[in-house]
Structure 1
Amino acid sequence: MCKIDLITEEEQVGYRLDMLLGEIDSDRSRSFYQKMIERGEVLVNGKSVKCKYKVKLGDRIVVEDTQPIPLEAIAEDIPINIIYEDSDIVVVNKEQGMVVHPAPGNYTGTLVNALLYHCDNLSGINGVIRPGIVHRIDKDTSGILVVAKNDYAHMKLGELFHEHEIEREYYALVEGVLKSDEGVVDKPLGRDPKIRVKMAIVKDGKRAVTHYSVIERYKGFTLVKCKLETGRTHQIRVHMASLGHPLVGDPIYGIKKQKFNLKGQMLHAKSLAFVHPKTEKYVEFNSELPEHFTRILSKLEKKEL
């Protein structure tokens, strides 16, 4: 199976090959790609190269995924922050850096592996590799998501997501100072036609709507609240970048040089609200901003950056 097949553009020229692959694929690390390059599983213009190869304009980079797929996810004793649990659902505050479910390059150490250890049951609708997973957030996005513990709950939650009846709010720190206090981005999203592992605003993409409002303005940065009307892959990241205000620390859609030592984008899934699949009562869950988020905001407030 081919994981990546792209033609490099001007903005990618000069990158080390392993660094570029690690940035454009948020589900895999740079070290993972280093091993693939060493095994000859990454080809540049049809030839094997070294990790330190500097990308040139128009290079064709092909990554062949040869890693065997496990038959099922295994339970692992990994600490996770469960903020609510009953017989039907479990609500987790995921930390930054954790992948939601097993995928090529990350078959262990994921949220699913942890949930299999901490929960007696998870729904089987998504199979043995993604049990209970109704929706996901990016590896380097922290925050709340809900997991189904049985098939009925999974089906009902799936219907709510499909009908856009689940309320999701995110906090994001973006580059620059937004002039408008609030706004709506209604731009269709789809795979980038040139770099397939990226998302982009494309004419024939799926409708994507993000409502945003300013929480606080700092010197050179803005803290915003984003409410999703739809839930497309990388939606907030692409939409805010389209306004000229990419997320701070975003390795794919953000600026290359930043003053913060970050491991990923400054994006946190702050709250989640929906009608409970069994009780049919409205429930709402909130989470505190993680330490890496509050630390930077504190410095910005004190004008230490």
Structure 2
Amino acid sequence: MTILSKHDDFPGKPGKSRNFDKFNFKPPLPVRDGVSPSYIWLPHGPWGTLLSFLNERFPNVEDTTWRSRMDRGEVVNAQGVRMVAGSLYHPGDCIFYYRELELETSIPFTESILYQDEHLLVADKPHFLPVIPSGRFLHETLLVRLKKKTGLKHLTPIHRIDRETAGIVVFSHNMRTRNDYQSLFQKREIEKVYEAYAKYLTGVKFPFVYRSRMVEGTPFFRMQETDGESNSETCIDILEQGSDATLYRLRPLTGKKHQLRVHLAALGIPIINDPFYPVAQACKGDDMSLPLQLLARSISFRDPLNGQTRYFESGKKLVLTEG
């Protein structure tokens, strides 16, 4: 029994649980307190009931929690049919539910809305605030905060920046024009400028372009460079040279995960307070005293709907703090 297999805008892989915000499809559960439902495709396997699969797939969620969600009608299939404790397991089905966190770290920094029209919303994100729900963050994310603030239920980011990075994030809230703006990022028709503090790099002439081949690294959340044809490029220049640190202007010409952090670390000048590069440090938990000195300063592009030049700039400034 395959559910929604004909919907190209509703992709998924069996066994993968994801948040629903990025897809142009109306889920069978509504947005609740700014949180869209998550969903999971059911893979082939030995499970007789849906509950037995959920207990195995999510070992950190108690059986009683799933039963309580089902009793409240908060676990449904793609047609909106309520799932109960005795519901049979159907491979290929798609199940929707709400993520819940008993304890969530409060992020004591505030985002701001720089621009909003009938298609886009542009936000200025603080350090430490994730863009979308993931892991131990749900309500303390930029997306959910903005949904609560604006009431825009179709709001979704059309690009991402790391939780550790501050600065500009562009959102779409119009499903009719979302693909028009997303295609700009896919075609690399967006100019992004970042700023970062790091040690001074000697022996080179600025500006210059650094290129390398990046692949997934170890641990799983890191990237690494490897031999082979380059797939990442960054233009690097100096804005201000100080005695303790240099302020760099970084323009990524490609959009690999952690690209700027990997490139500067590879040059021997890791971004100040980077917990991942060049070496992954022990998790600091809720310590937010040393923000990564990386800021998404600006984004510019030609609007695909009217041809106008769009330019958005962060109002935040890097404040140099070292551990």
Could you say which TM-score interval applies, normalised by the shorter chain? 0.5 to 0.7
The code of the aligned residue for 1:120 comes to: G
Superposed, which structure 2 residues align to 1:74-85 within 5 Å?
80-85=111-116
- Cα contact 2:264–2:270 (8 A) shared by 1: yes
Distance 1:221 1:249, change over 3 A: same
Question: SS where residue 145 of structure 2 aligns?
Answer: helix
Q: CA shift at 1:85, angstroms?
A: 0.5
Q: Secondary structure at the match of 1:151?
A: coil
Distance verdict in 2 for CA 1:176–1:79, change over 3 Å: closer
Counterpart check, 1:244 vs 2:275: no
1:184 to 187, 209, 220: 209
Q: Structure 1 CA distance, aligned partners of 2:222 and 2:230?
A: 15
CA RMSD of aligned residues (A): 3.2
Inter-partner Cα distance in structure 2 for 1:121 and 1:205? 43
1:177-201 residue CA offsets vs partner (Å, 9 max, x unmatched) = 4443221111121111x42221111
Relative distance call for 1:242 and 1:278 in structure 2 (3 A) is same
Higher helix fraction (1 or 2): 1
- Structure 1 segment 262-281 matched on structure 2, within 5 A: 262-281=289-308
**How far 1:222 moved relative to its partner?**
1.5
Deviations 1:35-65 (A, max 9, x none): xxxxxxxxxxxxxxxxxxxxxxxxxxxxx97
Matches of 1:212 and 1:236 in 2, distance apart?
10
Q: Which whole-Å deviations, capped at 9, do the CAs of 1:221-276 have from their partners, x for residues lacking one?
A: 211000011111100000111111100000110577xxxx9533200000000122
Contact 2:223–2:257 (CA<8 Å) still a contact in 1? yes
2:125 is the counterpart of 1:94: yes
SS in 1 for 2:262: helix
Q: Offset at 1:140?
A: 1.2
One-letter code aligned to 1:117: K
- The whole-number CA distance in structure 2 between the counterparts of 1:168 and 1:176 is 22
Aligned to 2:177, what secondary structure does the other structure show?
helix
Amino acid at match of 2:319: T
Name 2:313's counterpart in structure 1: 286
Cα deviation for residue 145 of structure 1 reads: 1.1
TM-score normalized by the length of structure 2? 0.61
What are structure 1's unaligned runs of at least 5 residues? 3-63, 124-130, 300-304
* Structure of higher CA gyration radius: 2
> Does the 8 Å contact 1:144/1:271 carry over to 2?
yes
Tell me how far apart the structure 1 counterparts of residues 242 and 200 of structure 2 sit (CA, whole Å).
9
| Alpha-carbon distance, 1:121 to partner | 2.7
In structure 2, the gaps of 5 or more residues are 1-14, 17-56, 62-94, 101-108, 282-287
**TM superposition shift of 1:72:** 4.7
Task: Report sequence identity in percent.
Answer: 25
Report the CA distance shift for 1:233/1:65 in structure 2 as closer, same or farther (over 3 A).
farther
1:73 CA displacement = 7.3
Q: Quote the residue 2:35 is aligned against.
A: none
Q: What is the 5 A alignment of 1:132-151? A: 132-151=156-175
Among 93, 97, 100, the residue aligned to 1:71 = 97
Indicate if the aligned counterparts of 1:80 and 1:92 stay in contact, CA closer than 8 A.
Answer: yes
Q: Quote how far apart the aligned CAs of 1:215 are.
A: 1.0
